């Protein structure tokens, strides 16, 4: 339930509502806008006691939260959230590009990539230390050695890093090295991991599961917010469909929809979304056009030698070209100029 306070509600009136929400068995969550304050009653309690608050002083109205996700919804927080990752704001005016290899393979590979993507305009680095691989025989990542390399790359370039966390056991170690922790697509509904990440003071990049609906994805984000971590960025990375020409089907409507339903920033991953180098430029531009707050793109010094995801990784020159293309305007629309004249 949401208690919308009236424009001139006093602090005392707001505090009274917060107390009453607690008494009714819910957790209160306050969002202070420039004009009005919203107090959400989240959890399960005695609903009629919240409904009755519509006659309390300073209250404009009381409405039900339409969606099963609550703290994530725009109804509870109409203003867009900006998540700061090591000083880089995601969800603000500018599109944030995160770039780097799928896996950290060596110091030389990571450092050369970090410098190249920084020069091309990336604002953050990526690189997997713990890799979720479909086959147990594939390269599984360098673990802590990779984390040290990532830290060095970040210190040298000043770019914050995001890296994937696969297990609750690794959370503390990752927090020592990373600026942001990524929950991979395969772990989107690993509720034990989400609960643990809700308690840390690091931003989380939550990828959409390959078979998850937008509602399930937002409910996974709700675990993080409900547990106390508000710094969550969503990432669309393609879903499973009947199409076999692309690795996944990149669901750009979901980017626009997630931004419609939620105040959280949403970024897009055209690398995993398509699995094809040749499609990264087009899908990057398309993602920005539908409102993505950022992109995460795989870049490798020599994609043909990559230990994971080579076919979808860009070399330095191709990445630079994608970056330059991002600021090109969309095409002119036939008839629009004439219609305006």
Interface with ligand PEP by CB under 6 A: which residues?
A: 102, 128, 132, 184-186, 207, 237, 272
**For ligand PEP, which is the closer residue by CB, 42 or 239?**
239
- Nearer residue to ligand PEP within complex by CB, 75 or 248: 248
Shortest distance in whole angstroms from residue 54 CB to ligand PEP: 44
**Judged by CB, which is closer to Mn ion: 105, or 309?**
309
Q: Sheet with 37-42: list strands edge to edge.
A: 27-32, 37-42, 2-5, 59-63
Residue nearest to ligand PEP according to CB distances in the complex: 184
**Which of residues 227 and 275 has its CB atom nearest to ligand PEP in the complex?**
275
Closest CB 164 distance from Mn ion, rounded Å: 9
Closest approach, Cβ 132 to ligand PEP, in A, equals 6
Choice from 2, 42, 102, 221 touching Mn ion (CB under 5 A): 102
Instruction: Name the segment binding Mn ion (CB under 5 A); options: 41-49, 94-102, 158-166, 226-234.
Output: 94-102
CB 199 within 8 A of CB 227: yes
CB of 321 to ligand PEP, least distance (A): 22
Least CB distance to Mn ion at residue 309 (A): 4
DSSP 291: T
SS3 content of the chain, % helix, strand, coil (to 5): 40, 20, 40
C-beta closer to ligand PEP: residue 15 or 139: 139
Instruction: Provide the CA 264 distance to its chain's centre, in angstroms.
Output: 7
Interface mask toward Mn ion for 274-313; x: CB under 5 A: -----------------------------------x----
The enclosing H or E element of 108 equals: helix 107-120
Residue 231: which of Mn ion, ligand PEP, none does it interact with, CB under 5 to 8 A by kind?
none
For the beta carbon of residue 279, count every other beta carbon within 10 angstroms.
19
Strand partners, 115: none
Task: Please say which residue, 21 or 165, places its beta carbon nearer to Mn ion.
Answer: 165
Give CA–CA dist 314/316, Å, rounded: 6
Tell me the sheet residues that pair with 83. Answer: 90
Backbone CA torsion sign across 69, 73, 77, 81: positive
Residue 184 interaction partner, one of Mn ion, ligand PEP, none, beta carbon < 5-8 Å per kind: ligand PEP
Q: How far apart are CA 257 and CA 248, in angstroms?
A: 19
Strand partners, 211: none
The site string for Mn ion over 308-327 (x = CB under 5 A, - otherwise) reads -x------------------
Taking CB under 5 A as the binding criterion, the range among 100-108, 240-248, 262-270, 299-307 that sits at the site for Mn ion is 100-108
- Residue 245, CA atoms < 13 Å, CB-side half-sphere: 2
β-partners of residue 29 are: 40
Q: Does 164 bind Mn ion (CB under 5 A)?
A: no
Sign of CA dihedral 229, 232, 237, 238: positive
* Of 140, 137, 134, 135, nearest in space to 105 by CA: 140
Q: Which does 207 bind (CB under 5 to 8 A by kind): ligand PEP, Mn ion, none?
A: ligand PEP
User: Residue 269 Cβ, how far from Mn ion at the closest point, in Å?
Assistant: 9
Cβ within 8 Å of residue 183, ≥6 positions away: 164, 165, 190, 193, 194, 197, 204, 205, 206, 207, 220
**Of 5 and 185, CB closest to ligand PEP:** 185
Closest by CA position to 292, among listed 251, 330, 331 = 251
Structure tokens at 59: 């209250």
Shortest Å, Cβ 288 to Mn ion: 21
**How far apart are CB 134 and ligand PEP at their closest, in Å?**
10
Nearer to ligand PEP, 43 or 210 (CB): 210
Q: Which residues bind Mn ion (CB under 5 A)?
A: 102, 309
């Amino acid at each position: 339930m949401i208690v919308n306070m009236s424009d001139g509600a006093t602090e005392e009136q707001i505090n009274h509502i917060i107390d009453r929400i607690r008494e009714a068995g819910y957790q209160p969550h306050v969002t202070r806008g420039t004009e009005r304050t919203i107090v959400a009653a989240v959890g399960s309690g005695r609903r009629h006691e919240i409904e009755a608050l519509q006659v309390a002083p300073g209250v404009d109205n009381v409405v039900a939260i339409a969606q099963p996700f609550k703290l994530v919804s725009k109804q509870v927080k109409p203003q867009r959230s900006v998540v700061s990752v090591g000083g880089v704001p995601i969800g603000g005016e500018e599109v944030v590009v995160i770039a780097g290899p799928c896996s950290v393979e060596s110091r030389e590979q990571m450092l050369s990539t970090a410098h190249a993507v920084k020069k091309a305009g990336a604002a953050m680095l990526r690189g997997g230390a713990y890799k979720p691989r479909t086959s147990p025989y594939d390269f599984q990542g360098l673990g802590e050695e990779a984390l040290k390399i990532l830290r060095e790359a970040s210190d040298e370039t000043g770019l914050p890093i995001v890296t994937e966390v696969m297990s609750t056991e690794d959370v503390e170690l990752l927090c020592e090295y990373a600026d942001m922790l990524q929950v991979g697509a395969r772990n989107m509904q690993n509720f034990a991991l989400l609960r643990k990440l809700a308690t840390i003071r690091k931003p989380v990049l939550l990828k959409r599961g390959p078979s998850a609906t937008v509602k399930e994805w937002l409910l996974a984000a709700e675990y993080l917010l409900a547990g106390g971590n508000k710094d969550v960025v969503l990432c669309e990375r393609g879903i499973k469909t009947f199409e076999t020409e692309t690795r996944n089907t990149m669901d750009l409507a979901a980017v626009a929809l997630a931004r419609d339903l939620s105040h959280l920033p949403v970024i897009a991953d055209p690398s995993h979304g398509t699995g094809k180098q040749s499609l990264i430029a087009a899908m990057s531009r398309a993602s920005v056009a539908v409102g993505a707050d950022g992109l995460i793109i795989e870049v490798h010094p020599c994609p043909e030698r990559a230990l994971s995801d080579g076919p979808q990784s860009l070399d330095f020159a191709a990445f630079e070209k994608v970056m330059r293309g991002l600021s090109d305007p969309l095409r002119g629309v036939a008839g629009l100029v004439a219609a305006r004249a």
